[in-house]
Amino acid sequence: MIKIINAEKSSHHSVIFPSFSMEVQTHEAAAIHSSLNVRTVLMDLLSGSASLSGGRIEVCGHSILSDLKNDNTHLSFLFLDEALYERLTLKEHILFWKKLFISSVNSDEILRRVQLEHLKKKRISTLTFSEKKRMHFARILLENKSVVILEEPDQNVDLETRRVIKKLMEGLKKEGKSILLLTGNMESALFMTDCIHRLDEKGLHQLDVKLEEDEPGEVKEETEETPLYQPVKIEKIPAKVNEKIILFNPPEIDFVESSDGQSNLSVQGEVYPCIFTLNDLEKRLVPFGFFRCHRSYIVNLQKVREIITWTRNSYSLVLEGSESISIPLSKSKMAELKEMLGLK
Amino acid sequence: MNHSIKRTMAIFQKDYKDFTKNLYVSSMVFLPLFMAAIYGRMGVQSIEMVFMIFNLTLTVIAAFTQSALIAEEKEKNTLRGLMLSPAGTGEILIGKSLVSFLISAIILLLSAVLIEYRPGNTLLIAAGLFVSILFYLGVGTLLGLITRSVMEASVAILPVLLFFSFSSFAMQLSAEYPILKAAEYLPNTQLVNLGHAVQSGAGFADGLPALLIITGWTIGISALVVVVYHKKMVDN
């Protein structure tokens, strides 16, 4: 387990994050959603190449710095910009790690778990970005440490790799590891973990993801309200950009995301902050074929191209045109969506 | 087997496999062999010539290979992975030096055979070459740590190569320019002196000062490497 106690960091006269505390127990995965800057600083702090301005970080009861120096450290890391020895074959690379970490885990078993077994005679340089990412996960599995720190593990990877990573994370949790995920992508945080914190210069806020479970009741109320919707007042959705107000036609909007109570309209890859709350927007947008697919997302169903089922309880919606954009779909909403689509 | 040795061997084996597949670096081993073969066929037997080949081998193979191996780890961002692994500073540096060391030793031996050099006291020459390899590995590691990419390392090695291959000739001019006397204490000149001493039938005791001076240089450069390595580790 990893414990962060009253940690704070400032540099060059500016606060990067004020004092906050959190902990990740065994069998738990938590995410810290933050800006790139905060994330980089956090990775430096966790890997011991920078030090806190105040507070401390403990790993399994010891300070993180003494743990890192220890031969039997409890930590293993996955950096975003990690590299492999391109000229080695996968098998050679795994064997190298195995010896380096004095690991007793079976190397073929590892390659099978990251679904690279069929490539084991190939050189690393022939792998795609996503396959290399899976290779890094092979290292995490080999290291077999009790605390795993991941930086943007599923950034830019293909769908298959995302599925593998998700599965591996479930496996690691089951084995009793604590996973801390650092990401700038809320969707990734929602997808990979169930405990999400947002960290910025104002501090740490835990996002209430658990509430999602109570939602069916709430949803019912809302769906009852929708018939009450009056004939179109204003069809356009206003967004504020630099003191200007821009009006969007609802069909233009791809999806709406809420973070920290602020709802953001996403239109053709650009994000515009909107004045209304997500609940208000839902009321306005439902008549235009929008759907509240998650506590913090409303999606334009016309733009949805694909519904991906990761596991029995986790789903994503992939939008048209932009392959990279996927939006979480919560379990309770899946049934509702199926009904709307006439699948049931 | 001790864990520390296991990890060192893991790095060694990885580098060995990597080296054999890295044509850019591994093709360099043919340069000194080629020169040794030519000079050997020409019947050149002067000690200066033989030791110029040796010094060239040491800079091209020991120093260059080593700097390229280290610089590549930095360039490709794999060094951080090693640093975060349980392997310590010593294990990483020794593991990474083993390949260059072995290759240098083999090439030196082959060069000596090709140029038909048969020293009177093989043991003394072997000891001198052994310490010299360590010194040049230190130079190579240092260059690899200072530069950021293999390209930079291969440019930075050039002045080193010229300096250590030819500065032993500076001695011949020292009568005219007294300042060049300082060159006498360079490790490469000492190696040549050792060669001369052995050629004139010197015993172990006569070769000892030269050996000690080269060892001194080796210890100095190793200390520098450890300091620079730690400094760079904090920087990153």
* pLDDT value of position A215: 43
Put simply, the answer to whether B3 touches A72 (Cβ < 8 Å) is no
- Both tokens assigned to B183: 């060159």
> What integer pLDDT is reported at residue A275 of this predicted model?
83
Q: Which pLDDT does position A52 carry in this prediction?
A: 86
Q: Which residues contact A207 (CB under 8 A, 6 or more apart)?
A: A33, A196, A197, A198, A296
Put simply, whether A104 touches B (Cβ < 8 Å) is: no
Residue-range domain boundaries for chain B: 3-235
User: Which residue is closest to A98 within chain B, CA to CA?
Assistant: B10
d(CA A118, CA A112): 8
Q: How far apart are CA B21 and CA B28, in angstroms?
A: 13
Rounded-to-integer distance, Cα B101 and Cα B107, Å:
10
Our CA-based measurement puts residue B97 at a distance from the nearest CA of chain A, in whole angstroms, of 16
C-alpha distance from B111 to closest chain A C-alpha (Å): 29
- For residue B136, name the pLDDT band (cuts at 50, 70, 90): very high
SS3 content of chain B, % helix, strand, coil (to 5): 85, 0, 15
B7 vs A100: CB contact, 8 Å cut-off?
yes
How does residue B191 score in pLDDT terms, banded at 50, 70 and 90? confident
The mean per-residue pLDDT over the stretch A265-292 comes to 86
- So what's the pLDDT on residue A233? 58
Q: Closest partner residue to A83 among B11, B76, B84, by Cβ? A: B76
Chain B residues whose beta carbon lies within 8 Å of the beta carbon of residue A79: 80
Chain B contact for A224, CB < 8 A? no
| Token pair listed for A52 | 């806190």
Test A102 with B17 for CB contact under 8 angstroms: no
Least confident of B50-64, B132-146, B162-176: B162-176
**Closest chain A residue by Cα to residue B81:** A82
A324 close contact with B: CB closer than 8 A:
no
Asked if the C-beta of A73 comes within 8 angstroms of chain B's C-beta atoms, the answer is yes
Q: Give the ipTM.
A: 0.83
Q: Does residue B13 surpass a pLDDT of 90?
A: yes
Nearest-Cα residue of chain A relative to residue B88: A71
State the pLDDT at residue B216.
Answer: 92
Can you read off the two tokens belonging to residue A177? Answer: 């590891």
| Predicted pLDDT of residue A180 | 93
**What is the residue-averaged pLDDT of chain A?**
83
Q: What tens digit of pLDDT does each residue of A179-234 get?
A: 999 998 888 888 888 888 888 888 888 876 554 444 444 444 444 444 455 554 55
Query: What is the least distance, in Å, from the CA of A83 to any CA of chain B?
Result: 5
Q: Please give the average per-residue pLDDT across B170-192, as a whole number.
A: 76
pLDDT, tens only, A26-59: 898 999 988 898 999 899 888 888 888 888 888 8
Nearest to A2 by CA among A42, A34, A40: A42
| pLDDT (mean) for A317-323 | 76
For residue A213, count other CB atoms closer than 10 A to its CB: 10
Region of poorest pLDDT, from A12-16, A334-338, B75-79, B197-201: B197-201
Contact B10 A82 (CB under 8 A): no
Q: Is the pLDDT of residue B11 over 90?
A: yes
B6: nearest CB among A49, A68, A99: A99
Please give the pLDDT value at position A217: 42
Average pLDDT over residues B202-228: 86
> What pLDDT does B1 receive?
57
- CATH level 3 topology of A210-341: OB fold (Dihydrolipoamide Acetyltransferase, E2P) (2.40.50)
Per residue in A120-141, pLDDT tens?
899 999 999 999 999 999 999 9
Q: According to the CATH classification, is domain A2-206 in 3.40.50.300?
A: yes
Q: What is the spatial distance between Cα A275 and Cα A246, in angstroms, rounded to a whole number? A: 11
- Which residues in chain A have their CB less than 8 angstroms from residue B10's CB? 96, 99-100
**Lowest mean pLDDT across A177-186, A203-212, A249-258, B153-162:** A203-212
Contacts of B82 in chain A (CB under 8 A): 100
- Rounded average pLDDT over A322-336: 80
- Pick A87's closest partner by Cβ from B3, B18, B86: B18
Per-residue model confidence (pLDDT) at position A219: 43
Residues contacting residue A119 through CB under 8 Å, at least 6 positions apart: A90, A126, A127, A131
A300, β-bridge pairs: A290
- Paired tokens of B107: 């090439």
Write down the pLDDT at residue B86.
Answer: 83
For range B164-175, the mean pLDDT = 71
For B89-132, how does the pLDDT look when each residue is reduced to its tens digit (9 = 90+)? Answer: 888 889 999 999 999 999 999 988 888 887 777 888 888 899 99
Of residues A47, A71, A88, nearest to B86 (C-beta): A71
A97-101, A334-338, B168-172: range with lowest mean pLDDT: B168-172
Long-range contacts of A290-293 (CB under 8 A, 24+ apart): A290/A250, A290/A253, A290/A256, A291/A333, A291/A337, A291/A340, A292/A219, A292/A222, A292/A333, A293/A317, A293/A327, A293/A328, A293/A329, A293/A330, A293/A333, A293/A337
Q: What pLDDT does residue A131 have?
A: 92
State pLDDT tens for residues B40-53: 888 766 777 888 88
Q: What percent of chain B has pLDDT over 90?
A: 21
pLDDT of A151 reads: 93
Q: What is the pLDDT of residue A93?
A: 92
pLDDT tier at B234, thresholds 50, 70, 90: low
Give me the amino acid identity at A139. R
Q: Where are the domains of chain A?
A: 2-206, 210-341
Q: Are A179 and A1 in contact (CB under 8 A)?
A: no
B78, A83: Cβ pair inside 8 Å? yes
